[in-house]
Amino acid sequence: MRLELERRPRIAWWAELGAPLIALAMTVVIGAILFAALGHPPLRALHAYFIEPLSEIWSLHELTIKAAPLIIIAVGLSVCFRSNNWNIGAEGQFVLGAIFASALPILWPSAAGAWVLPAMLLLGMLGGALWAAIPALLKNRFGTNEILVSLMLVYVAGLFLDWLVRGPFRNPEGYNFPESRNFGADAILPEIISTGIYGGRANYGIVVALIVAVIVWFMLARTLRGFEITITGASPRAARFAGFDSKRTTLFAFLFCGALAGLAGTVEVTGAIGQLRPSISPGYGFTAIIVAFLGRLNPLAIVVAGFVLALSYLGGEATQISLGLTDEITRVFQGVLLFAVLASDTLIRYRVRLTRPHYAAKETAR
Amino acid sequence: MSEDTLLETRGLTKVFGSLRACDEVSLSLGTGEIVALLGENGAGKSTLVKQLFGALQPDEGEILWRGAPVVMAEPAVARHLGIGMVHQHFSLFEAFTAAENIALGLPDEPMKGLAERARETSRAYGLPLDPYALVADLSVGERQRIEIVRCLLQNPTLVIMDEPTSVLTPQEVDRLFVTLRKLKAEGRTVLYISHKLEEVRALCDRAIVMRAGRLVAEADPKTETAASLAAAMVGGEVPAVRHRAPPPAEAVPALDIAALNTPAEHQFGVSLADISLTVRAGEVVGIAGMAGNGQAELFDCLSGEIATVDGRLQIFGVSAERLGVDGRRALGAAFVPEERLGHGAVPGFDLAENVLLSRHRREDGTVTAGGLLRRGRARRIMRRVVERMDVRSSGDNPPARALSGGNLQKFVVGRELDRAPRLLVINQPTWGVDAGAAANIRQALIDLAATGAGVVAISQDLDELFEIADRIAVIAGGRLSPPEPAATMTREAIGILMGGVHEPADAAPGGETLAT
């Protein structure tokens, strides 16, 4: 007896739309079981995880701070994944972008003026793109596996950052703490509403994320470049027949995705953090992979998915505080969600059939 | 014919939809003989063999094993009876050793001592094999030995081999023949599927020829010529040859290639050697040949999907060697590949998007100067094509996957014709298309040529080529014969050329890749 997956001839629009929602529902159910197994009343725990972070102004601000990098990276990943380039190293590109951007205020602390922040954003994109170029060029030239190369470069980037903040980038007035100097006012991404009853820490990163999502949606849906990316992923042979060079597409996808990951890194250090530290990301580059798939590689849906995954970070913190659970619960939730997304995506595309080998003799002569 | 009958089929029939893939086939295989099963692609060889191996169930008829009727519900039953099969495409895991792969294929055999038994078997049959070698490190010929040894370890009385030599070097072929003759000497029966006629003549005692699902001839290959076997495969009926005034020779050639060479792109590919062909504006040149003799590679070379590195290629007098697909389209060329889904069209894209596949140049009006898509215009082209070619589908703009093979082919051909190309290269124009649609497509090709375009039609269907082509050339082993006027060409002459009067191009250095 074995399971067979049989491609469904057509997929209803409501199934396309419903799959991520089913995945979310499955995640909540599994989460409830998980909390119960840990000895907490499931409803209260779920409330603490999913509802409480949405009930206060400050935590809504935090939500946008977490969502912005996730959305920016995931939108870039959607370009890569659609073209069948499996960039798993956005985390590293995020870090390199942050390093490139931070180099300006750290090495030139007296720099001031309205040009500083845009220059940092551009530097960040350049850094991320350069880091992403490595797996792309190796893939094109030597046929290396981009998944492995981009993933391994994450750890290189992390160690490089660690060395920088303990060495050349360390704050000379920082009592030997492994941190860079704090960025000047012109190198900080401003807050949207800093005062008043709705005031909080949310910065313009989320605005950047929304603009990026719309631009990339337009590129994918309405331009020849987007067509090239989609067709390369859907059918490489047909893309070659259409006249698109797959190596050029690979390089473009990686550079584009790397630049956005670098932009996200820049938003994070210029906004939420304001300096370089040994660790600047709670795994945004990896979590963004889940965001991209939950958003079905559609930049507009990715905006929604970004907020959902941002909530998973806040929920982890909230249950840590109110229930005393480890914040590893965040990763568990994210992992369960990824499985649920992949499973529901598969099940709407394929029908599962149970087949059994039948030894019973069939009538052959009629 | 041997005295003891090992396996017999009576009226074996298998129907897929409206296609009778296997139509009342009755044959018998004797003990200790090597029998060739000949036929063109699509003649029904695989369908027949799958039924003999339990991978398909016959709709009608029966199979007798040593005189008793048997039902083979699945391949395991066939294996227990003593029927072994060596497939054309290997199913081996590269990361495992030869012995591990053998064990995976023989779940009933104890793993212990299997490697040593494999080594003994391989030595006994002259197929040296190191059971502990990683498959990834082995050549194609060595990989095939694993499959053969796996088959022989089950001590089969009937060995079915599906085109075993298509991936082998001449030396490996010789060695394989020694093994097969040894099997025969031991009293085992070999069913040998091939369309390499010279090999069949050298090896087999008897040849069974299939055409269009039927068993059409049985012959002694030793007394037949390769040409007469080929004629039996492609059918002897004389087609209605349509005579037409050939276009004037002095016109600028639509396509002019000379001394074109291309190495094989991958290990199963064919290298093209010294291809020369001139296609005049207003004529249809047909290229005949058995499957796998370089048609796909020739198409890719003409379309620009394989870069021309060695040789001359001009489209209406303009050098196009360095141009890719798009550049050649800009010169007025259009291309229709053999594979519709995944090459000529993207299965998951709707038809309007599939219009963009080959119609995304500024001149097509579907893209703005800034690189924005004009989907409305693509849809308009799509509707025009659907109407002109009578493409039947459900819905206004369905995904390509939802169309039947014939309708999709009409769409893909129509998409290219809609550009009013000056040169059309088409591979297997009516492959898998029903008779009515095929006639429409052929007529469209003739009409296109009448407008002054050059047409290259690569096809395995000789009737089709005689119907549409002004001149016919034959591709065999990656070499192209000089085209001859269709009016003076006979099936016999084509058969000789197909059988490989040209020496096959040296296949020895497998896995050659293009320099990048």
Assigned domain for A354 exists: no
Whether residues B30 and B162 share a domain: the answer is yes
B499 to each of B38, B228, B338, how far by Cα in Å?
12, 10, 22
3-state SS string for A177-198? CCCCCCCCHHHCCCECCCCCCC
A227–B360: do the CB atoms touch at under 8 Å?
yes
Whether residues B287 and B349 share a domain: the answer is no
Taking the CA of residue A135 and the nearest CA in chain B, the distance in Å comes to 18
Whether residues B195 and B47 share a domain: the answer is yes
**CA B122 to chain centroid:** 31
Contact in structure between B271 and B262 (CB atoms under 8 Å): yes
| Average pLDDT of span B312-340 | 92
A223–B373: do the CB atoms touch at under 8 Å?
yes
Q: Which of B201, B234, B267 is the last residue of a domain?
A: B234
Bridge partners (DSSP) of residue B277 are B257
Assigned domain for B18 exists: yes
Assigned domain for A85 exists: yes
Q: In chain B, which residues have their Cβ closer than 8 Å to the Cβ of A364?
A: 57-58, 60-63, 69, 71
| Average pLDDT of span B197-217 | 86
Extract the runs of DSSP E, i.e. beta strands, from B87-232: 158-162, 189-193, 206-211, 214-219
**Would you call B61 helix, strand, or coil by DSSP?**
strand
B356–A227: do the CB atoms touch at under 8 Å?
yes
Whether residues B367 and B346 share a domain: the answer is yes
Domain of B159?
Answer: 5-234
The closest CB to that of B343, out of A141, A241, A243, belongs to A241
Assigned domain for A366 exists: no
CA–CA dist B379, B8 (Å, integer): 56
CB pairs under 8 A between A and B: 91
Structural element, H or E, at residue A33 = helix A13-37
B77–A242: do the CB atoms touch at under 8 Å?
no
Assigned domain for B230 exists: yes
CA–CA dist B498, B229 (Å, integer): 11
Whether residues B274 and B416 share a domain: the answer is no
B128 phi, psi to nearest 5 deg: -55, 130
**CA B4 to chain centroid:** 35
Whether residues B476 and B505 share a domain: the answer is yes
CATH of the domain at B77: 3.40.50.300
Assigned domain for B153 exists: yes
Most confident of B62-66, B70-74, B143-147, B463-467: B62-66
The tally of domains found in chain B comes to 3
Based on DSSP, count helices (H) and strands (E) in chain A, helices before strands: 13, 2
Assigned domain for A90 exists: yes
Q: Indicate the average pLDDT of chain A.
A: 91
Lowest mean pLDDT among A66-70, A76-80, B247-251: B247-251
Q: Indicate the average pLDDT of chain B.
A: 84
CA–CA dist B72, B76 (Å, integer): 8
Q: In chain A, which residues have their Cβ closer than 8 Å to the Cβ of B346?
A: 231, 234-235, 238
CA–CA dist A262, A98 (Å, integer): 6
With a cut of 70, say whether residue B1 has pLDDT above it: no
Whether residues B132 and B228 share a domain: the answer is yes
3-state SS string for B182-210? HHHHCCCEEEEECCCHHHHHHHCCEEEEE
Taking the CA of residue A144 and the nearest CA in chain B, the distance in Å comes to 15
Burial tier of A205 (Cβ tally within 10 Å: 0-12, 13-18, 19+) = buried
Higher pLDDT, A310 or B495: A310
Q: Best of B372, B401, B403 to disrupt the A interface by mutation (most A CBs within 10 Å)?
A: B372
Based on DSSP, count helices (H) and strands (E) in chain B, helices before strands: 16, 21
B57–A240: do the CB atoms touch at under 8 Å?
no
B346–A231: do the CB atoms touch at under 8 Å?
yes
Residue with tokens 């369960």: A336
Handedness of CA A156, A186, A121, A272 (dihedral sign): positive
Burial tier of A13 (Cβ tally within 10 Å: 0-12, 13-18, 19+) = exposed
Provide CB contacts within 8 A for A360, sequence distance 6+.
B73
Q: What is the pLDDT of residues A324-363, one digit of tens each?
A: 888 788 889 899 999 999 999 888 888 887 766 444 333 3
| Average pLDDT of span B376-400 | 89
In this prediction, residue B8 carries a pLDDT of 92
Taking the CA of residue B370 and the nearest CA in chain A, the distance in Å comes to 9
Assigned domain for B445 exists: no
Assigned domain for B439 exists: no
Whether residues B84 and B115 share a domain: the answer is yes
The tally of domains found in chain A comes to 1
Contact in structure between B176 and B196 (CB atoms under 8 Å): no
Helices (H), B401-508: 405-417, 435-450, 462-468, 491-498
Assigned domain for A273 exists: yes
State the Rg of chain B over Cα.
Answer: 25
B324–A235: do the CB atoms touch at under 8 Å?
no
Whether residues B65 and B157 share a domain: the answer is yes
Contact in structure between B47 and B219 (CB atoms under 8 Å): no
Domain of A185?
Answer: 14-349
Assigned domain for A118 exists: yes
Whether residues B38 and B128 share a domain: the answer is yes
Q: Which of B200, B234, B268 is the last residue of a domain?
A: B234
Burial tier of B259 (Cβ tally within 10 Å: 0-12, 13-18, 19+) = exposed
Q: What is the pLDDT of residues A201-238, one digit of tens each?
A: 899 999 999 999 999 999 999 999 999 999 999 999 99
Q: What is the pLDDT of residues A117-173, one digit of tens each?
A: 999 999 999 999 999 999 999 999 999 999 999 999 999 999 999 999 999 999 988
**Assigned token pair, A325:** 């659970």
Half-sphere CA count of B135, side-chain side, radius 13 A: 18
In this prediction, residue A363 carries a pLDDT of 35
Contact in structure between A140 and A250 (CB atoms under 8 Å): yes
Contact in structure between A359 and A27 (CB atoms under 8 Å): no
B74–A357: do the CB atoms touch at under 8 Å?
yes
B337–A10: do the CB atoms touch at under 8 Å?
no
| Average pLDDT of span B338-350 | 90
CA–CA dist B30, B4 (Å, integer): 5
CA–CA dist A342, A346 (Å, integer): 6
Whether residues B328 and B344 share a domain: the answer is no
For the entire predicted model, the pTM comes to: 0.74
Assigned domain for B198 exists: yes
| Average pLDDT of span B67-94 | 86
Provide CB contacts within 8 A for A147, sequence distance 6+.
A86, A88
Whether residues B172 and B318 share a domain: the answer is no
Q: Which of B373, B355, B363, B465 is nearest to B416 (CA)?
A: B355
Q: What angle do CA B169, B175, B176 make, to 5 degrees?
A: 85
Residue with tokens 């497509």: B441
Contact in structure between A89 and A285 (CB atoms under 8 Å): yes
Taking the CA of residue B191 and the nearest CA in chain A, the distance in Å comes to 23
In this prediction, residue B365 carries a pLDDT of 87
**Would you call B496 helix, strand, or coil by DSSP?**
helix
CATH of the domain at A168: 1.10.3470
A192 to each of A183, A304, A309, how far by Cα in Å?
19, 20, 22
